[in-house]
Amino acid sequence: HETEFIDSVRSTLQCLSPIFDRNPRYAFVAKGLMEPERFIQFRVAWIDDVGVVRMNRGYRIQYSSSIGPYEGSLHFGHHVNSGVIKALGFNSVFSNALTGFDVGAAVGGSDINPFDKSEAEIQRFCQSYMTELAKYIGPDHDQPTQGMGVGEREIGYLFGQYKRITARSSSNGKPFLAGAGSFFQAPGYGIVHFAKEMLNDKGDTLQGKRCLILGAGKVARSVAQKLLEYGAIPLTFSDESGHLYEPDGIDDGKLATISKIKNERGAHLGRYIIASTTAQFNDPASILDIPCDLCFPCHKMKDIDDAAANKLADNGCMGVIEGGHNTVTPSARKVLKKRGLMYGPHTLTMTGSAIVHALGKKGTDEQLAAEISRIYSDVKLTAEEFNARGDLFAGSNIAGFLRVANVMITHGAV
């Protein structure tokens, strides 16, 4: 069981093997890092709109506080279980360490599906979830952030309940559970900034690149928005109902229409067809049959498997930049490397949220881009140092691990 966690640990430790060869002491640190500091699971009882008591599982894994207070995303979805939470928590150790800021690693969530619930039901669920979670989080201790199925509205409901039951809801003027009014596009913008750095490294730009986007959530739409600013051409979005394809690209006006539809809880992309005379829905049958230059999977975990990676390569795709956690399977990574495609790993690309929170509410997109350029250079140099030139997955895991491991060694056996 917990295959997601096992896959994450196995693929990460394979990247770290050159470190163990140079200094075997680090192998014992890695062994300790495989076990989280604290794993909290609890029952979340809430009442639906017809008065029936419903039950879900709530989670919060406080994985590592070696370099700073816990911080990490919350995820709501029927796919969420203990294995997924542990995998995401393990990955966030390396991702948060890469930022260079004093940020620990934590992840949480619940197995509720937020997309088939009313607004009132989500509010009641969030209040019940926070009533228990509030015992374990707080300013300067554990900072939850937005994730899959958890957007501004959910964070607002969670903060409202936290504020109701605790006396302290901020630290040094920095709001706890920053959500409403903050730079919520940071994860999506960060992904595109990394894609820009990767292309710059090859003497290319995003200008005119035709881009497949898998997903239609807030991150996918932020990716499309930033791609448009860089002159790229977003072609697609997808959700549970299928995918839409605009052969001439999705412009600002079309993106605004899609955002208006998707901001309504439970709404599907199929409604967009009514508003467009050029869009194709589920045509071709597979979204991966559409020729593209770059692919941004921002939807489900394990969206890109071996067959998908090969299909993208056959259709002339230059690279895959992850816009979600573990969207590319370990075996698909090997296919991408073998076929010569660029690969932007989630460990590297999903650092935007942690960067912006560290910068504070005055953080700007320009500062985010500057920090990402710095991180990309660090990861690239680390990969070269450990004989993995161009392998950003190995470079990001090694750089993140070394920062955490060196601090863990000073803490002794704790």
Instruction: Determine which helix (DSSP H) or strand (DSSP E) holds 180, and give its type and residue range.
Output: none
Q: Are 76 and 58 in contact (CB under 8 A)?
A: no
Q: Average the pLDDT over 34-63 and give the result.
A: 96
Q: Average the pLDDT over 187-195 and give the result.
A: 94
Question: What φ, ψ does residue 48 adopt, rounded to 5°?
Answer: -80, -175
Q: Is pLDDT of 173 > 70?
A: no
DSSP secondary structure string for all residues of 278-300 = S-EES-SSSGGGS--SEEEE-SS
Beta strands 105-110 and 53-64 are antiparallel
> In this structure, what token pair is assigned to residue 14?
């394979």
Nearest to 351 by CA among 93, 18, 66: 93
Beta strands 233-234 and 210-214 are parallel
Q: Is pLDDT of 115 > 70?
A: yes
Least confident of 52-56, 170-174, 332-336, 406-410: 170-174
Q: Average the pLDDT over 338-358 and give the result.
A: 91
At 181, the pLDDT band (50, 70, 90 cuts) reads very low
Q: Average the pLDDT over 39-60 and give the result.
A: 97
Mean of per-residue pLDDT scores for the chain: 92
Per-residue confidence (pLDDT) for residue 174, from 0 to 100: 65
Q: At what angle do helices 152-165 and 119-133 cross, to 10 degrees?
A: 50
Q: Are 285 and 311 in contact (CB under 8 A)?
A: no
In tens, the pLDDT along 230-244 reads: 999 999 999 988 999
Beta strands 170-171 and 174-175 are antiparallel
Give the span between the Cα atoms of 107 and 39, in whole angstroms.
Answer: 10
In tens, the pLDDT along 310-327 reads: 999 999 999 999 999 899
In tens, the pLDDT along 52-101 reads: 999 999 999 999 999 999 999 999 999 999 999 999 999 999 999 999 99
pTM for the whole structure: 0.92
Name the DSSP letter for residue 90: H
Q: Is pLDDT of 401 > 60?
A: yes
Per-residue confidence (pLDDT) for residue 178, from 0 to 100: 59
At 183, the pLDDT band (50, 70, 90 cuts) reads low
Q: Is pLDDT of 245 > 80?
A: yes
CA torsion, points 354, 5, 147, 285, in degrees to nearest 10?
120
Nearest to 124 by CA among 52, 59, 39: 52
CA torsion, points 309, 315, 317, 321, in degrees to nearest 10?
-40
Least confident of 282-286, 357-361, 362-366, 406-410: 357-361
Least confident of 100-114, 168-182, 369-383: 168-182
Q: At what angle do helices 3-22 and 82-98 cross, to 10 degrees?
A: 40
Q: Is pLDDT of 215 > 90?
A: yes
Q: Are 73 and 107 in contact (CB under 8 A)?
A: yes
At 180, the pLDDT band (50, 70, 90 cuts) reads very low
Per-residue confidence (pLDDT) for residue 9, from 0 to 100: 95
Per DSSP, the three-state class of 329 is coil
Nearest to 42 by CA among 54, 56, 28, 27: 56
Q: Average the pLDDT over 108-119 and give the result.
A: 94
